[in-house]
Structure 1
């Protein structure tokens, strides 16, 4: 790998780490919103919050898998 490709991969790793952290923070916020009771909240609202929370956790996990692949690739190349 050239230095440019290594730098690009390291930048991608940093970006994906940030995206994952934001998605995990969002999922925590949505989960808390789904379990805190308030007047007028319906079951559909709770299901939407929970499903969005789980989807964002899933996407964050996919990002972490990509990060681990890229780190392994960088380790093998160096």
Structure 2
């Protein structure tokens, strides 16, 4: 892969990670704020927490991939 392509991949994964992290925060806040006039449902809470966990795991994966591409870019610059 050329230098420019690796740079774009690193930037894309970092953006994906920030978007996934922001969505997971909104989902978590939505779970904490009680719904008006509705009884809290245990199943709904489990689904919201599961979805939040999946988004956090995906954000972590994207951050790791971004770091991998950053290291690859640094190695190409040193060579």
TM-score (normalised: structure 1): 0.88
Moved over 6 A (4+): none
- Cα distance in 2 for partners of 1:67, 1:15 equals 8
- Cα distance in 2 for partners of 1:43, 1:62 equals 28
Deviation readout 1:23-72 (Å, 9 max, x if unpaired): 00100010011111121331111111111011101111011111111111
Question: Can you give the 5+ residue segments of structure 1 that lack an aligned partner in the other structure?
Answer: none
1:44 aligned onto 2:43: yes
RMSD: 1.2
Q: Which residue does the alignment assign to 1:67? A: 66
Question: Can you give the 5+ residue segments of structure 2 that lack an aligned partner in the other structure?
Answer: none
TM-score (normalised: structure 2): 0.87
**Higher relative CO (CA 8 A, sep ≥ 6), structure 1 or 2?**
2
